[in-house]
């Protein structure tokens, strides 16, 4: 079946000598993997690989077979041409990190148009704004809305937050209760929009501590989630 769909590249892997396997999050079918045969063999093919940089937004015409794990692409073109996402060092580090997170957590071959729209629009925001040092913190927090474990905010005035339960509490209960800087920043980010991120004043130590807390939050709620290997690079860039 030949279909057209928007897609966001979340990983790519060299296969054999001249092939690529590219994993995309598609608007219509969720996560799909594609085999690009011979794309590394010729200059013309190499030019096409520029379309498959991490988190690139594409318009694809694909041959879709629900009974196969690898699909093929008949036509690919850019849906949005980024101006800075792959050329700015800070943004490139965020892209590498978030692509690894998304590749780890997005597994289903099913449509989720609201999640797709969230990823699509926030990447466009990142591409067009200069202040990005805290983007990934808010991105990860808001992403939990679509994954089913966004912090329950009916008791947001309580002085502790339990990572395992995803709830604010009156007193600490269990080993995954937080307070202090991470708690304060969590409450602040719950009320922050992307356009307000430039007003967020935290240092690199606070940023890394909160990011580690968020990754632990993901680990507690997604059984097979592991800390991204690109975390070290991200911390070096924003350290």
Write the pLDDT tens digit of every residue in 73-98.
999 999 999 999 999 999 999 999 99
Structural domains in the chain, CATH included, are 1-81 (2.40.50.140), 84-239 (1.20.1440.120)
What does the pLDDT read at residue 225? 94
> Which residues fall within 8 angstroms of residue 10, CB to CB, at 6 or more apart?
23, 24, 25, 31, 54, 55, 99, 102, 103, 106
In the predicted model, residues of the chain with pLDDT beneath 70 are 42-47
What does the pLDDT read at residue 42? 67
Instruction: Please state, in angstroms and rounded to a whole number, the distance separating the CA atoms of residues 82 and 128.
Output: 8
Give the chain's mean pLDDT: 93
What does the pLDDT read at residue 59? 96
What does the pLDDT read at residue 239? 82
Instruction: Please state, in angstroms and rounded to a whole number, the distance separating the CA atoms of residues 138 and 193.
Output: 8
What does the pLDDT read at residue 43? 63
Instruction: Please state, in angstroms and rounded to a whole number, the distance separating the CA atoms of residues 101 and 228.
Output: 6
pLDDT in tens, 185-199: 999 999 999 999 999
What does the pLDDT read at residue 61? 96
Q: How would DSSP label each residue in 144-213?
A: HHHHT-PPB-TTTTSSEEETTTTEEESS--STTEE-HHHHHHHHHHHT--GGGGGG----HHHHHHHHHH
pLDDT in tens, 28-37: 999 999 999 8
Stated length of the chain = 239
What does the pLDDT read at residue 47? 56
């Amino acid at each position: 079946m030949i279909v057209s769909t928007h897609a966001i590249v979340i990983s790519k892997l060299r296969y054999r000598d001249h092939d690529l396997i590219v994993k995309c999050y598609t608007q219509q079918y969720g996560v799909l993997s594609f085999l690009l045969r011979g794309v590394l063999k010729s200059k013309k093919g190499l030019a096409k690989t520029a379309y498959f940089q991490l988190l690139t937004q594409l318009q694809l015409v694909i041959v879709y077979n629900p009974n196969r794990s690898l699909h093929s692409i008949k036509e690919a073109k850019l849906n949005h041409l980024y101006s800075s996402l792959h050329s700015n060092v800070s943004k490139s580090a965020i892209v590498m990190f978030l692509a690894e997170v998304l590749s780890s957590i997005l597994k289903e071959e099913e449509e989720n148009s609201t999640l797709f729209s969230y990823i699509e629009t926030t990447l466009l925001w990142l591409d067009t704004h200069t202040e990005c040092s805290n983007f990934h913190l808010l991105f990860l927090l808001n992403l939990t809305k679509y994954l089913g474990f966004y912090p329950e905010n009916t008791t947001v005035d309580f002085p502790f937050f339990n990572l395992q339960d995803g709830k604010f509490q009156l007193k600490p209960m269990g080993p995954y209760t937080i307070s202090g800087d991470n708690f304060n920043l969590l409450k602040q980010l719950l009320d922050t929009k992307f356009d307000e991120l430039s007003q967020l004043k935290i240092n690199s130590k606070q940023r890394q501590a909160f990011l580690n807390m968020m990754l632990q939050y993901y680990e507690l709620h997604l059984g097979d989630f592991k800390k991204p290997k690109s975390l070290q690079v991200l911390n070096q860039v924003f350290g």
